[in-house]
Amino acid sequence: MKLNYRIVIFALAIIFGLVFSAPSLLKLDDGKKVTLGLDLQGGLHMLLGVKTEEAVKSRIKSIAASVKHYSEREEILIDELTFDESSVSFIVLDSDELPKVESFLKEVEGSLVTISGEQISMTLTPEEVVKTEKEAISQAIETIRNRLDQFGLTEPVVARQGEEKILVQLAGIKTQEEEQRARELISRAAKLELMAVDEDRDARVYNMSESDAAEYGDVILEDAKNPAIKYLVHEIPILDGGMLTDAAMGFDQNNRPLINFSLNAEGAEIFGDFTGRSVGKRLAVVLDGKVYSAPNINERIGGGSGQISGSYTVMEAKDLAIALRSGSLLAPIYLMEKRSVGPSLGADSIKASLVALIGGFVLVIIFMVVYYRAAGVIANIALVANLFIILAVMSLFGATLTLPGMAGIVLTVGMAVDANVIISERIRELIYEGKSMHKAIEDGYANAMRAILDANITTLIAAVVLYAYGTGAIKGFAITISIGILASMLTAILGTHGIYEMLEQKITKSKNNRFWFGIKG
Partner 1 sequence: MEFFKYTKTFNFMGKSKAAMVLSVILVLASYALLATKGLNYGVDFAGGTIVQVKYDTTAPIDAMREKLKGNALFNGASITEFGSPDEVVIRMKSTTSNVTVDIGDVTREALNGSGNFEIRRVDIVGPKVGSELKEKGIMSLLLAVIGILIYVAFRFEWRFAVASIFALVHDVSIALGAITLVGLDVNLDVLAALLTILGYSLNDTIIVFDRIREGVTDSRNSTLFDTINESVTRTLARTTLTSLTTFFVVFTLFMFGGEIIHAFAFTLLVGVVVGTYSSIFVASPILLWFGFDVKGYHEKLAAKAKREAEKQRMRDQYESGVM
Residues 478-497 that bind partner 1 (CB under 8 A): 478, 481
Stretch that binds partner 1, among 22-30, 112-120, 275-283, 336-344 (CB under 8 A): 336-344
Cα dihedral 297/301/306/310 (nearest 10) = -10
- Taking the complex as a whole, the smallest distance from the CB of residue 176 to partner 1 amounts, in Å, to 7
89 is a site residue for partner 1 (CB under 8 A):
no
Q: Count other Cβ atoms within 10 Å, centred on residue 264.
A: 14
Binding of partner 1 at residue 438 (CB under 8 A)? no
Task: Produce one character per residue of 114-150: b if its CB has 16 or more CB atoms within 10 Å, e if not.
Answer: ebeebebbbbbeeebbebbbebbbebbbebbbbbbee
Q: CA-CA distances (angstroms) from residue 255 to 61, 191, 304, 309, 322?
A: 37, 25, 23, 11, 20
Nearer to partner 1, 47 or 238 (CB): 47
Q: Is 355 in the site for partner 1 (CB under 8 A)?
A: yes
Q: For the chain, what is the total number of helices (H) and then of strands (E)?
A: 17, 19
Q: By C-alpha distance, which of 7, 6, 17, 15 is closest to 392? A: 17
Q: Hey, is 498 helix, strand or coil? A: helix
**Toward partner 1, which CB reaches closer, 115 or 455?**
455
Residue 425 engages partner 1 in binding (rule: CB under 8 A): yes
Choosing from 156, 404, 484, 498, the residue that interacts with partner 1 (CB under 8 A) is 404
Task: Report the candidate in 385, 240, 225, 429 with the shortest Cα–Cα distance to residue 327.
Answer: 240
Q: Is 333 in the site for partner 1 (CB under 8 A)?
A: yes
- Of the two residues 38 and 258, which places its CB atom closer to partner 1 in the complex? 38
Nearer Cβ to partner 1, position 233 or 448?
A: 448
* DSSP state letters, 129-151: HHHHHHHHHHHHHHHHHHHHHTT
- Cβ nearer to partner 1, comparing 79 with 184: 184
Beta pairing, strands 230-234 & 111-116? unpaired
Phi, psi of 193 (to 5 degrees): -130, 140
Q: What is the 3-state secondary structure (H, E, C) of 335-401?
A: EEEEEEECHHHHHHHHHHHHHHHHHHHHHHHHHHHHHHCHHHHHHHHHHHHHHHHHHHHHHHCCCEE
| One residue of 12, 26, 315, 352 binding partner 1 per CB under 8 A | 352
Stretch that binds partner 1, among 81-89, 201-209, 423-431, 489-497 (CB under 8 A): 423-431
Using CB under 8 A as the binding rule, the residues of this chain from 109 to 128 that contact partner 1 are none
Smaller CB separation from partner 1, 301 or 474: 474
Beta carbon of residue 467, minimum distance to partner 1 (angstroms, whole number): 10
Shorter beta-carbon distance to partner 1: residue 162 or 280: 162
Query: Is 462 one of the binding residues for partner 1 (CB under 8 A)?
Result: yes
For residue 232, the minimal CB distance to partner 1 (Å) is: 28
Q: Applying CB under 8 A, does 455 fall inside the site for partner 1?
A: yes
Choosing from 116, 211, 253, 344, the residue that interacts with partner 1 (CB under 8 A) is: 344
| DSSP conformational letter for 197 | B
Q: How do beta strands 165-171 and 43-50 pair? A: antiparallel
Q: Interface with partner 1 includes 92 (CB under 8 A)?
A: no
Q: Give the sheet arrangement for strand 119-124, strand by strand.
A: 78-83, 87-92, 119-124, 111-116
Q: Determine the length of the chain.
A: 521
Q: Does 384 bind partner 1 (CB under 8 A)?
A: no
Nearest approach, Cβ of 390 to partner 1 (angstroms)?
Answer: 14
Report whether 105 contacts 111 (CB < 8 A). yes
Rounded CA-CA distance 187/183 in Å is 6
443 binds partner 1 (CB under 8 A): no
> Does 413 help bind partner 1 (rule: CB under 8 A)?
yes
Give residues 31-60 in contact with partner 1 (rule: CB under 8 A).
39, 46-49
Measured from the CB atom, the residue of 68 and 188 that comes closer to partner 1 is 188
Residues within window 140-179 making contact with partner 1, judged by CB under 8 A: 176, 179
Q: Which is nearer to partner 1, 15 or 366 (CB)?
A: 366
The span of 8-16, 246-254, 462-470, 492-500 binding partner 1 (CB under 8 A) equals 462-470
Strands 218-223 and 290-293, bridge-based pairing: parallel
- Least CB distance from residue 36 to partner 1, whole Å? 15
CA dist 226 and 235 (Å) reads 21
Distance CA 448, CA 464 (A): 24
Nearer to partner 1, 163 or 299 (CB): 163
Segment interacting with partner 1 (CB under 8 A) among 69-77, 129-137, 359-367, 393-401: 359-367
Strand-pairing partners, residue 102, are none
Total residues in contact with partner 1, by rule CB under 8 A = 85
